[in-house]
Structure 1
């Protein structure tokens, strides 16, 4: 299967791309099992520098992306000096 899995994360609370958000990529397998494939961080545009999965790594199936939104907002708050 030729294709790509990508994401774009926007912080609509602050009106900007969600830079530095941690994302885990999981493949859901039979009988409820999950397989962790990778962990990435978003860049300054709220995207990843390369597709999450592409070409042979992207197989037909069900995937789960876990966005660490709470961590992102905690970090955002710490870096904005309370503004």
Structure 2
């Protein structure tokens, strides 16, 4: 069986507007379910690929701080 998670996620989100995309992200994070992680990963990949180096550096810094906070608790 050939399962392309990226294609499936992108297909499911292809008609979503900005509000729906935001709701998807917020719902996935609030639910905290492991099964949502691949979808969030695909969305992050899209954001990363659309970002310039300065934006990428800001994301890396935010991730670093988030990881430090999450692991210090």
TM-score when normalising by structure 2 = 0.27
Higher-strand-fraction structure = 1
Name which structure has the greater RCO, CA cutoff 8 Å, separation 6+. 1
